[in-house]
Amino acid sequence: MAVNPLPWRRERRRHARGMPAWGMSQQDSRDNLVPASLFGSIDRQWALAGADGTGVRVCVLDSGVDGDHPLVAPVEQAWEVVTEEGRSPRISECEPRDPAGHGTACAGIIRELAPRVSISSVKVLTDGRSGSGGALIAGLAHAIDQGFDIINMSLSTSRLEYRNRLSELCDRAYFRRCTLVVAAHNLPIQSFPWNFASVISVASHTEPDPQRIYYNATPPVEFCARGVRVPVASPGGGTTRNTGNSFAAPHVAGIAALALSKHPWLTPFQLKSVLYHCAANVSTEGNEGGVHVAPVA
């Protein structure tokens, strides 16, 4: 058995049946211990202790958000992308509503983790699963221009014609100190913008702790959070359990909101580094020997 000292050079893990793609199993999380020797003083206590999300503005770019749901309310602002045949998509203010429930589920996770955060919504999806690339681009551009601290995107597109424009928008967000937290696709295919370096990409792990995140040393996904049988807000004011990377991303968005509320001067790249040091598999112990990895054949 040979030891590979660079886990990010490994072959991509195979897709585990019954789990969203790009995710991390319990065995993976135990075997991917990585060092934090350069910044040993940054840990969960430094990053998150005492934080509740106060002062942080989060936008959920999704199917809308139900502003009356008890696990979500209040919703500060709500917009929707209006598409008309032969015309460019336009942004319109609207009531905070969600005909599909997908955005509400994501917003509820963020609210649970960061109860004092300000949540707004941009509706770009119709039935919770589909929408046009033009609507996605228009909605994202609007959210960035509104100056949100964090935008949660539990969606992506596999259409190559939208890649360059999405890349430009993600770069714009990055330089405006707007952190994009984006769910990886649930299938082992390429889509955008979760695999851009300018965003924080998230897939699922199988553990039930909503505050437990893992750093993934084998790109393209960078972090894994709870995404299997997650209790989420559902239409009508209730709850249900759902599985998918869609529900892993808002866990990271909520934790990021906590860090920003305590350390508001963090830039997106600094915030990503702080999340790295909050990951359960990043350790300051025993780093002298280098990266701790499981042996591979």
Task: Please identify every residue annotated as catalytic.
Answer: 62, 102, 246
Left, alpha or beta for 51 (phi > 0: left; psi -120 to 50: alpha)?
A: beta
Beta bridge partners of residue 60, listed in sequence order: 121, 152
Q: In degrees rounded to 5, what are phi and psi of residue 151?
A: -120, 125
**How far from chain centre, in Å, is Cα 256?**
9
The span from the CA of 43 to the CA of 274, in Å, is 8
What stretch of H or E contains 231?
A: strand 230-234
The span from the CA of 164 to the CA of 218, in Å, is 24
Question: Torsion angle, CA of 256/262/265/266, rounded to 10 degrees?
Answer: -30
What stretch of H or E contains 168?
A: helix 163-175
Contacts of 54 (CB under 8 A, 6+ apart): 116, 117, 261
Within 10 angstroms of residue 179's Cβ, the number of other Cβ atoms is 29
Share of the chain residues as helix, strand and coil, in percent rounded to the nearest 5: 30, 20, 50
